[in-house]
Each structure stands twice: as structure tokens, then as C-alpha cells.
Amino acid sequence: MNLSGKVNDDGWTVTACAHASGTEFGCLTGTSVAAPDGVVVREFSHDRTVCTPREAVLDSLKLDMSWVGLIASNTICGA
């Protein structure tokens, strides 16, 4: 079963889509953040696999929302 999730607010979006990887699940994730130098966009597959699609999506959203927070606070440039 594939499962996806999306979280967004003013100026940023995080998406996650779980996919089967053998008997476990991985996650393709994407982020878009409005930054002082323009919009920072990234998309990649997480290297971690987990037991359920729900766990894959929630883990991915949590990690990427932390990344968005670092970009939005100008702690890192995100490029």
C-alpha cells in the first residue's frame, strides 16, 4: 500500500510518499521553502526504511519539517 502526506504553511510545503521496498517501506519526500534568496526546492528518497507506510510518511514529514525550520530561520541556506 502506498501512502502520502502533505504539510504546508505560509511560504513552505513538505510532501512525503511512502513506497514498498521489499518487505519494508521507504519514502520519497519533497520540500519547498520561500527563502531570502528565492524558493529552495529539494526532492529525494530517504535512506531509511521502516515497517509500515504510516511510519515512513510520519518520519519523513517530521525530519523535513525540521529542515524547513532551519531554512526559514536562516540558520542554514538550504542550497
Q: Strand order in 12-21's β-sheet?
A: 3-9, 12-21, 24-35, 38-45
Q: What is the pLDDT of residue 78?
A: 61
pTM over 0.75: yes
CATH for the stretch 3-72: 2.20.130
| Domain positions in the chain | 3-72
User: Among residues of the chain, what percentage have pLDDT more than 70?
Assistant: 96
Per-residue pLDDT reduced to its tens digit, 35-59: 777 888 889 888 889 999 999 999 9
| Whether the predicted pLDDT of 1 surpasses 70 | no
| Whether the predicted pLDDT of 68 surpasses 90 | no
User: What are the percentages of helix, strand and coil residues in the chain, rounded to 5?
Assistant: 25, 50, 25
Greater model confidence, 26 or 69: 26
